[in-house]
Structure 1
Amino acid sequence: MSTLTLSTSPEQKPQELPGEHPTEPAVLEVKNLTKEFAVSKTVSFPAVDDVSFSLQQGETLSVVGESGCGKSTLGRCIVRGIDATSGEVIYTPQEGSEVDFLSLKGRQLKKVRKDIQMIFQDPHSSLDPRQTVFDIIAEPLKATTRIPQAELRRRVREIAEKVGLDPSHLRRYPHSFSGGQRQRIGIARALVTRPSVIVADEAVSALDVSIQAQIINLLRDLQDELGVTYLFIAHDLSIVEYISDRVAVMYLGRIVELAPTDSLFAAPKHPYTEVLLSAVPQPDPEVRRQRIVPKGEVPSPADRPKGCLFANRCAYATELCEQKAPTLQETAPGHFSACHYASQLQLKGLAQLEITGAEDHTG
């Protein structure tokens, strides 16, 4: 345990939906979402554990964390790619009343599904090799709307042009395209129904760096033009810093920090976020970044700690951290942290972690 002296202060009341603005209704509200997976007939563990947040129209909220933290599972639950164990996903269309997307069935589900779409990580395996590009892009429209063939063709050609595809190539098959072009096909498929919300699950991680930049700029341009809202799931914080309005950090299925991008990168309020920032690559060879290596191992999701999930790896942990789980509290306007000592710790932001020298710091 750290010998750092930290005072125990009364906890603030936890915020149910971090990021919601009272004067601006959220387009999507995730409330207490949980997804459990069975280990055996009698034992299960939560891959997503009581997660709540809201999304405003036209913003990008990125969800970050190391592999296995639950971020992709969260995204798939939101779009109903897999069934959540409990919780709600409240969707409010621009015209109409709010609905719980997870509880919809039949015609109601079909009507709303077109408004919440997903871009998948692998642009190869997510495209049916037996379908032409035209059929791939048109499929969501055919599944959710009754649309005349002439209008269908027009919509597909229109969105293909918007994402940078040549409409004359729509009768080709996915194997004829490069990885970047395939991801453009996936983006076109997600956008063709004119959705309000898109969940982008590691949408550029399988692409070359030069192609990543093209796709990220494309997503930003499309957001400016169409007003679409992104839930951007990623592990590369340099991309996240560029594209995001806000960032949510996940660890073992829970959100441990949520804040505006500038605030989180400049002044993190959770020790795990500081660890992630220290691992961001430094493009300048003359400047290095302190690498903070947490002690211990990530606990098994099936055998989670009683208190703070990060306590066994945290350099600042005290007995309180081991015994009591912290709640997500607002430590500054719009900045939430699930750390007992968020208001006392002076954690290093991205700029403060930069050093000029050969030695890295390990904690």
Structure 2
Amino acid sequence: MSKPILDVIKLNKDFKVRSKKALFAKPKPVRVLSDISFELLEGETLSIVGESGCGKTTLGRCIVRGMNASSGEVIYHTEGGESVDFLKLKGKESKRLRRDVQMIFQDPYSSLSPRMSVFDIISEPLIANFKLNKSEVEEKVAAIAEKTGLNISYLKRYPHAFSGGQRQRIAIARALITQPRLIVCDEAVSALDVSIQAQIINLLKDLQEQFQITYIFISHDLSIVQNISDRVAVMHLGKIVELATVDSLFGQPKHPYTEALMSAVPQPDPDQKKDRIILVGEVPNPANPPSGCHFHPRCAYKTDKCMQEAPQLRLVGDNQYAACHYAEQLNLRGAANEPAAVE
């Protein structure tokens, strides 16, 4: 059994928002991440899904210290067996461990500096984290470029000369150059064409096998998530409402929100009809969340208990967790289509 590489414990993130009606009033804190807790195993791919605004990207950025969490812990387990709270590290300690945790961003056009050559983009993290001579840097950059499908002749060019798929390969090479153990992929393929998405997903899988990398894969595309994931965490309004293996989640979801997401997965057979679950109402405002279960205003199974008492994330099946009072009683529908092989 794989050992844990990361433990996220009661992670919270607040943003201060000023009311439009009272410009001179004190900004009010709005909680966008609420008590996020999960364990990440070494070598696995944990996908985080949910509709826009649920806090997926904020969670990823808080884990890699792209933004500071308001409270909580991110316990990182080093190769030497040491456990450290990544959020409390400063100075040299932070720099030493930061090389182990990298991030691939959503937009391959804005995440690469147009003023730097491909060689400079890929080598920058290497130069910042290691003391290497010029020939060693050139050797490592050439090797990682080959691993990610980049021609060596591309290294002297600039990002504007490449397509979206090639730019994302450059971003992947930049993330891999420090030999990280964990990579957070923030919508890493959502800005690409479907055929290019398949190539990048296959590349990420191959690199995971070669380098024993652990992924946190943030996405809203459930078809891709179904192909790449070992486990899936479903987020709604800053909370994890379901956490399960990919087979359990897609086969038998335990939360009504997950069921609604599953119904939106497109069918590969155009002649096969599928009953969509249309969620009535607006997404709740994080600044003024509803009482009880935050999903109850749009839930078809709600009761008075749902409107009054907030459910906790709890074990409801074989390695399957859900934040629903009636997770064991409801017979929810999973995705009807089998995961399609990525060519």
TM-score > 0.5, shorter chain as reference: yes
Please name the residue that 1:29 is paired with.
Answer: 7
Residue 78 of structure 2 corresponds to residue 100 of structure 1: no
Match of 1:206 among 178, 191, 203: 191
Aligned residue identity for 2:12: T
2:169 counterpart of 1:169? no
The separation in 1 between residues aligned to 2:299 and 2:255, in whole angstroms, is 10
More off after superposition, 202-211 vs 138-147: 138-147
- Residue 262 of structure 2 aligns to a residue whose secondary structure is helix
Partner SS state of residue 30, structure 1: strand
The yes-or-no answer on 1:72 pairing with 2:57 is: yes
The structural deviation recorded for 1:296 is: 1.5
Letter in 1 for 2:336: A
* Structure-2 residue corresponding to 1:13: none
Number of the residue aligned with 2:16: 38
Q: Give the Å deviation of 1:295.
A: 1.8
Distance, in Å, in 1 between the alignment partners of 2:116 and 2:196 is 24
Distance 1:262 1:178 in 2: 34
Check conservation: 2:234, 2:258, Cα contact below 8 A: yes
Kindly indicate whether the alpha-carbon contact (under 8 Å) linking 2:50 and 2:220 is maintained by their aligned counterparts in 1: yes
Q: Shift of the alpha carbon at 1:277?
A: 0.5
The 5 A counterparts of 1:84-123 are 84-123=69-108
Which whole-Å CA distance do the structure 2 matches of 1:135 and 1:289 have between them? Answer: 49
Q: Tell me the CA shift for residue 266 of structure 1.
A: 0.3
- The SS at the match of 1:170 is helix
SS of the residue corresponding to residue 289 of structure 1 reads coil
Tell me how far apart the structure 2 counterparts of residues 188 and 203 of structure 1 sit (CA, whole Å).
13
CA distance in 2, matches of 1:116, 1:212: 23
**Aligned partner (choices 138, 141, 147) of residue 123 of structure 2:** 138
Paired position in structure 2 for 1:246: 231
Q: Give the whole-Å Cα distance in 2 for the aligned partners of 1:286 and 1:56.
A: 40
Cα offsets for 1:4-29 (capped at 9, x unmatched): xxxxxxxxxxxxxxxxxxx6431011
Q: Hey, what does 1:259 align to over in structure 2? A: 244
Once the two structures are overlaid, the 10-residue window that deviates more, 282-291 or 208-217, is 282-291
Structure 2 counterpart of 1:197: 182
Secondary structure at the aligned position of 2:300 is classed as coil
Q: Tell me which residue corresponds to 1:229.
A: 214
The amino acid that maps onto 2:37 is: S
Between the aligned partners of 1:170 and 1:288, the Cα distance in structure 2 is: 49
Deviation at 1:43, TM superposition (A): 1.2
User: Distance in 1 between the 2:89 and 2:308 partners?
Assistant: 40
5+ residue gaps, structure 2, are: 19-25, 339-343
Summarize the Cα distance change of 1:313–1:51 in structure 2 as closer, same or farther, 3 Å threshold.
same
Q: CA RMSD in A?
A: 1.2
Q: Which residue of 2 aligns with 1:274?
A: 259
Runs of 4+ in 1 over 6 A off after TM superposition: none
Aligned length: 331
TM-score normalised by structure 1 residue count: 0.89
CA distance, structure 1, for counterparts of residue 177 and residue 7 of structure 2: 23
Instruction: Output the CA distance in 2 between the equivalents of 1:172 and 1:215.
Output: 21
Distance in 2 (CA, whole Å) between partners of 1:337 and 1:255 is: 8
Is 2:2–2:43's contact at 8 Å kept on the other side of the alignment? no
Structure 1 residue 58 corresponds to structure 2 residue 43: yes
Structure 1 counterpart of 2:92, one-letter code = R
| C-alpha distance in structure 2 between counterparts of 1:270 and 1:148, whole Å | 54
Which amino acid letter does the alignment assign opposite residue 236 of structure 1?
Answer: D
The separation in 2 between residues aligned to 1:161 and 1:318, in whole angstroms, is 57
**1:322-341 residue pairs with structure 2 within 5 A?**
322-341=307-326
- Specify the code of the residue in structure 1 equivalent to 2:220: H
1:8 matched residue in structure 2: none
CA deviation vs aligned residue, 1:249-281 (integer Å, no higher than 9, x gap): 000000000000000000000000000000111
Q: Distance in 1 between matches of 2:2 and 2:176?
A: 24
Contact kept in structure 1, 2:12 and 2:70, CA below 8 Å: yes
Q: Counterpart amino acid of 1:269?
A: K
Amino acid at match of 1:28: L
SS of 1:112's equivalent in the other structure is helix
Q: Which residue of 2 aligns with 1:9?
A: none
Deviations, residues 227-267 of structure 1 (Å, cap 9, x unaligned): 00000000000000000000000000000000000000000
- SS state at 2:298 partner: coil
Q: Which amino acid aligns with 1:314?
A: C
Contact 2:106–2:187 (Cα < 8 Å) also in 1 = yes
Distance in 1 between the 2:129 and 2:242 partners? 36
For 1:140 and 1:48, the matched residues in 2 are separated by: 29
Under a length normalisation based on structure 2, what TM-score does the superposition of the two structures give?
0.95
Contact persistence 2:255–2:322 (CA under 8 A)? yes
In 2, Cα distance between equivalents of 1:289 and 1:162: 41
Amino acid at match of 2:33: V
Letter in 2 for 1:336: Y
